[in-house]
A and B are shown apart, each in its own frame.
Chain A
């Protein structure tokens, strides 16, 4: 019963992250927050199953996932900075003309 409760929690947070991406298409740094929330929910799912099955492989993998999240968050911020400098605005609907 504990496994089912924790699994449901992490799944609720993942689906709220998906909904956050679909609802918040105003600008880029607001859109990167639900992406981090989805990665966090998947990480928590790894750990919940690792604790339930008494296996350490899930915890080892769950300590590698935040590094990938940090790398893609840094790249997203760099793209946001260059978009703001080139374009002067951060409305996402003009993003389809990115070159290079």
Chain B
């Protein structure tokens, strides 16, 4: 699975539409990301918010495909949408309608204060990001590259890094999964 831009250029037979199509897809995905996460926070029906979480996960996966990282996009689709979103939907449908707070008010004073604090954190972080000179940071990544990097595909590079640099976290993650599995079964049995 090569990059989408190569396919689009072959289909359209024009190479001067690559940039605008890329930009249009990025704007579309970004706007649906922000709308989905706003809907997840603000919607009152919990099934709607779980489905908008699914929309956010699929949009992030498409964004990873646009950034030429196909393995992480496929892993994201499988693990996040296929496992975590289904788990959350199962947990949401487990409760019936009488468990909501009937008088749930979104715009109380405490909630307004929380929104104000979060907005101020967001504004301060955005000004910090815009003021930092990201391109003045020294590139210290030359020692991490594999020798034949251009001949290998994306999955092969990730596999080499997992086997050499991330060997210990890989084993620890397998232990984490085993412990989580045993713990969930022990907690939830009769």
**Chain A residues at the B interface, C-beta cutoff of 8 Å:** 3-4, 7-9, 11-13, 15-20, 22-24, 26-30, 32-34, 36-37, 40, 43-44, 47-48, 50-51, 53-57, 59-64, 66-75, 77-82, 84, 89-91
Contacts and interface: CB of A to CB of B under 8 A. Distances in A.
Contacts of A20: 37, 40-41
Contact of B80 (A4, A48, A69, A74): A69
A13 B139 CA distance: 27
B173 A3 contact: no
Contact of B158 (A15, A24, A59, A89): A59
A17 B130 CA distance: 22
Given A40-B80, A63-B75, A77 B90 contact: yes
Contacts of A30: 46, 49, 92
24 contacts: A4-B129, A11-B126, A12-B122, A13-B56, A16-B38, A20-B37, A20-B40, A23-B41, A23-B115, A29-B91, A29-B92, A30-B46, A44-B64, A59-B69, A60-B165, A60-B166, A63-B162, A72-B180, A73-B84, A74-B87, A75-B184, A78-B187, A89-B99, A90-B99
Chain B: interface residue count, which band?
35 or more
B188 interface: yes
- CB-CB nearest 3 A-B residue pairs: A29-B91, A71-B180, A20-B41
Contacts of A37: 37, 40, 53, 56
A1 B10 CA distance: 28
Given A15-B118, A53-B139, A33 B49 contact: yes
A59 B90 contact: no
B177 interface: yes
Contacts, number: 197
Contact of A13 (B33, B161, B162, B173): B33
Contact of B41 (A11, A16, A51, A67): A16
A22 B118 contact: yes
Nearest to A52: B134
Interface string B16-31: 0000000000000010
Nearest to A46: B72
Contacts of B181: 74
Contacts of B106: 23
B56 A57 contact: no
A50 B27 CA distance: 21
A80 B41 CA distance: 20
A70 B90 CA distance: 14
